[in-house]
Structure 1
Amino acid sequence: PDVGRVTVLIRSNRKGSAVERFWQFAERSPAVRPLRKKLGRERFHAFLEEKVEVLEGDCGQPLCGLDEPTLEGLAETLDAVVHFAGLTDFEPDPLLGLLTNTFGGENAADVAARAKVPRFLHISTAFVAGNVSGHIEEAIEAGVSPNGTRFDPNAVATELLAELRDLETKRERIDLANERAEELGWPNIYTFTKGLSEHLHALRDDIDLVLVRPAIVESARNYPFAGWNEGINTSGPLVWLLSSWFRSFPANPKNHFDVVPVDTVARGALLVLAAQLRGEAEGVYHFGSSATNPLTFRRAIDLTALAARRMHSKDSATPFDRLVVKYMDAVPRGADKDHFPSLPFLRKVAQEGRRYLKDFRPKEQLPDAVYDRWGSALDDKIKKLSMDCRNADRTIGLVEDMLRLYRPFVHDNDYIFANDHVHALSQRLSPAEHELFRFDVNEVDWRRYWLDVHVPGLEVWCLPLLRNDRVEDDPPFPRPVRTSIASGVKVQAPESKPAPPRHRHEELR
């Protein structure tokens, strides 16, 4: 109730306008479920009409594609710009990654610079630290890369953009961007483009900048409900692999697995924004657990193996899973060590199996009497097995790529991110505020969280995507005729259409 108004910038796409996309999210996303349940249909829509303004724009455009009258209106009313948008794929097309993560951030900062008080809260990632190990301070030295190289971030970004535009294939662009990232000490395109964005912001003198760097964001502890997650995240492939009969994971068992629940990140972001509005914020905040409530990969793998035993004890598990896979141990292993069965071996088995099944023609290769009796059932079985092999091939290929991309974070580097700044804010809260807004990562009991919250959540929200299945949004939440959030014009809301279920390949895009 104390929030005046939140202005949300949303890009339109083929699925709808900015306003339509906002309402589809508000009415269907499980993240908004508690608010819908608390307020009910009429009050929910009235509340959002009152508190939220949707603007159609695009961070990829100068000044986010906003026209001058809109910018002038924002300049009078904005207290702060909070920039969450970004491309989180570790190996995207670098052209898109640079335009979204680097120049997109600058476009958002340009909007903040137009405000009377140009506050800009930028959500980055803790892994802009690059290829380093050990204690990572909450600081940034503009123009100095993770490996200590002094560089001009504006020159690097603009020159790379020009070079990328001259290359014809995505593979060529990825190779070039990875080469540039490695020269400066970043492990991949994602951290490189996010790091460049931070350095460009830090060199500006026309914004009040605060950087927030979450570590590995995972399932919610409490809000919107225990276990809520979205998409394929870092621990998803770990849990998927270790719950199968492939029971090894390429990680250094002693390294820190810096996990932070998503609702803890949300609490921290609100704390930092409030401090920035008071003029009391530090320049950089880490949101992580490694410094104060550490979880190692050894511990995470052991807990995952225990969670897998629970999964394979359910009535829905296959006899093979209940009698064999359930009792197999899970172990971390060196990323460069040979092992059996390896993912390439398993993928080849799936490919060869599908090739054999594709060439097998029961009607042509079996006696007529045999085919007449069992042919129809056999055809169906072959079709299903072929589909299973195809899905296994795709999924194993996906996991191979993920493990290659995750290697710097789970094997090569051991990060310990200081988080003193956000804990200091948490300690200053009043007793009433403390319950709602404290940064509570130190309260996480990793055994309970992993077994009772996180892995059960992944079973619902993540593992189906790795199996090439679908994850459904909440049922439609019908809305009345309402005022257009963007324009103030009375409009008849379009019918609530069932949102298409998220699919693994949509998550990758």
Structure 2
Amino acid sequence: MSSVAAYYNGKAVLITGATGFMGKVLMEKLLRSSPNVKTVYILVRPKAGQSMQERVANMLQCKVFDRVREDYPNFQEKIKPINAELIQPNLAISPKDSEDLLSQVNIVFHCAATIRFDEPLKRALQLNVLGTQRLIELARQMQKLEAFIHISTAYANCNQKHIDEIIYPPPVEPKKLFGLVEWMDESIIEDITPKLIGEWPNTYAYTKALTEYLLQQEKANLNIAIIRPSIVGASWHEPFPGWIDNFNGTSGIMIAAGKGILRTMIANNDAVADLIPVDVVINLTLVAGWYTAVHRPKNMMVYNCTTGGINPFSWGEMEYHVLSTFKRNPLEQVYRTPCAQLTSNYLINRYWIAVSHKAPALIYDLYLRLTGRKPRMMKILDRLHKNLMLLEYFTTQSWEWSSDNMNMLMGQLSPEDKKLYNFDIRQLHWSEYIENYCLGAKKYLLNEDMSGIPAAKQHLRKLRNIRYVFNTTLLVIIWRIFIARSQMARNIWYFVVSLCYKFLSYFRASSTLRH
């Protein structure tokens, strides 16, 4: 009954970036929704001392595959890993593997990219732009290729306030930039990077903009579509609510707030937090692959996969829902009671960093030293502040994205396909989603068992009691040093206390009369 699922049955699919967050969800959904898919080729490189085979074996043990493992125990037989490296000529693919890809592949999903905001420009160009060009060169030789789907970002054109589903001209020709960085010393490239990227906040968004333009130039007769997700977060429904496997983006911020480490950050409370669940992006991607292959649109289609224009959610709302969730379902061994303040004022933020971040961290590290343990809190804070600084550009502004193509695509689906590949974010309830996101971070990132919540609540109460004792002691010290020695200060103090007492007496009397 599902046209999309039926299309992928019998097809050979190539996925780049399959070991990444989105790549794993894409592979899982494809194997689960179209169990008769012929082959899923994945490009994998050795990394961190692990061979390609070891990386794939570890990946397939991941919890994200539990549902498909239960339904189809031999699903891994469909997966064919290929040793490859995006920054090498011909992707460093062996002649035998290259022959298989050229003769078999029907659809390419290009998810591979460096998502580091502070990636040096040369490496970001090599991975995001040059890697894509080399993949396109390979795709042009594929005899059975029907569609090429590229995952970009909604922030590729963040120098615009209103972003349409079109390709915007970049500030420089990508090929000219390749030639420039090829011979130039890396220290010089680093010095001129701010000038080169101009209005773009980082090398990630900049190189994604260049890649989109390159695809338009290099497409020739290929059927290409571009998916532009905003901030990709935990899953909404699939494979199960709240699944997340990395600390990137909002995930690390949520955990830092839940642990009581993060108390302040630069953000506009009213700005839109354009968070998009990963399964929404993947459902749209698979549907776009089907539509591109079957309907073969004349122009290259771009899909803005965002929530802000359809179902907006602000950073202030996110702060409220994250903190309330972690107060009801606390993390284990929290540092302090979850509490955070968003501010767009730089000076206020610096004050709170000094008072509520650095001062407690120094005291805590001193305590660790005195008890013979290694100090760690200042290092954690340094990493956190660096990440927050990279996110400031996105937490203080809002953008408008058109979504006509996404709406058109939804109109092409049958009722069955709309259920199986749901990307209608009008149905998303933010409070429920954020709660599942926080609980998912607790379960899948921190590996904390939900049965430990009562003990975590007890630890939270203990921290609250310590805070009350500390505040009371501080008040007594202030009294002894300042107030007890001054008659005027004592008079003011007694006046404030008596006023509070009168208010309490009045409310108690009013309550008695009502009852």
How far the C-alpha of 1:444 sits from its partner, in A, is 0.7
How has the CA–CA distance of structure 1 residues 152 and 96 changed in structure 2, closer, same or farther, with 3 Å as cutoff? closer
- What are the residue-to-residue correspondences of 1:47-58 with 2, within 5 Å? 47-49=75-77, 51-58=78-85
One-letter code aligned to 1:294: P
1:228 to 2:243 alignment: yes
Q: Which residue of 1 aligns with 2:125?
A: 98
- What are the residue-to-residue correspondences of 1:102-251 with 2, within 5 Å? 102-116=129-143, 119-133=147-161, 135-141=162-168, 144-145=169-170, 149=171, 151-163=172-184, 166-168=185-187, 173-182=189-198, 185-206=199-220, 207-243=222-258, 244=260, 246-251=262-267
How far the C-alpha of 1:448 sits from its partner, in A, is 1.1
How far the C-alpha of 1:251 sits from its partner, in A, is 0.9
How has the CA–CA distance of structure 1 residues 34 and 274 changed in structure 2, closer, same or farther, with 3 Å as cutoff? same
How has the CA–CA distance of structure 1 residues 14 and 37 changed in structure 2, closer, same or farther, with 3 Å as cutoff? same
Deviates more, 1:208-217 or 1:247-256: 247-256
Cα deviation 1:445-478 (Å, max 9, x = unaligned): 0011112x1111122344x4xxxxx899xxxxxx
How many Å separate the matches in 2 of 1:231 and 1:35? 21
The residue matched to 2:165 in structure 1 has which SS?
coil
How has the CA–CA distance of structure 1 residues 252 and 161 changed in structure 2, closer, same or farther, with 3 Å as cutoff? farther
Q: Give yes or no for contact 1:213–1:284 (8 Å, CA) kept in 2.
A: yes
Q: Which residue of 2 aligns with 1:304?
A: 322
Q: Which residue of 2 aligns with 1:31?
A: 64
Cα deviation 1:129-152 (Å, max 9, x = unaligned): 12332x3111103xx23xxx4x32
Q: Which residue of 1 aligns with 2:280?
A: 264
One-letter code aligned to 2:125: L
Q: Which residue of 1 aligns with 2:391?
A: 406
One-letter code aligned to 1:301: E
Cα deviation 1:314-373 (Å, max 9, x = unaligned): 8x567x95xxx36x5x44211523246533566653675478569x8xxxxxxxxxxxxx
1:284 to 2:318 alignment: no
How many Å separate the matches in 1 of 2:210 and 2:155? 12
The residue matched to 2:413 in structure 1 has which SS?
coil
One-letter code aligned to 2:179: T
One-letter code aligned to 2:224: L
1:448 to 2:467 alignment: no
Count of matched residue pairs: 410
Q: Give yes or no for contact 2:200–2:206 (8 Å, CA) kept in 1.
A: yes
The residue matched to 1:187 in structure 2 has which SS?
coil
Q: Which residue of 2 aligns with 1:82?
A: 109
* Correspondence for 1:383 among 369, 372, 381: 372
How has the CA–CA distance of structure 1 residues 304 and 357 changed in structure 2, closer, same or farther, with 3 Å as cutoff? closer
Q: Which residue of 2 aligns with 1:336?
A: 346
How far the C-alpha of 1:308 sits from its partner, in A, is 3.1
1:18 to 2:52 alignment: yes
How has the CA–CA distance of structure 1 residues 122 and 339 changed in structure 2, closer, same or farther, with 3 Å as cutoff? closer
Greater RCO (Cα-Cα under 8 Å, separation 6 or more): 1
One-letter code aligned to 1:186: W
Cα deviation 1:368-413 (Å, max 9, x = unaligned): xxxxxxxxxxxxx6124xx3xx3211211111111111111111x3
The residue matched to 1:81 in structure 2 has which SS?
strand
Q: Which residue of 2 aligns with 1:427?
A: 411
User: What is the CA RMSD across the aligned residues, in angstroms?
Assistant: 2.8
The residue matched to 1:126 in structure 2 has which SS?
coil
For the pair shown, which has the larger CA radius of gyration, 1 or 2? 2
How many Å separate the matches in 2 of 1:459 and 1:351? 23
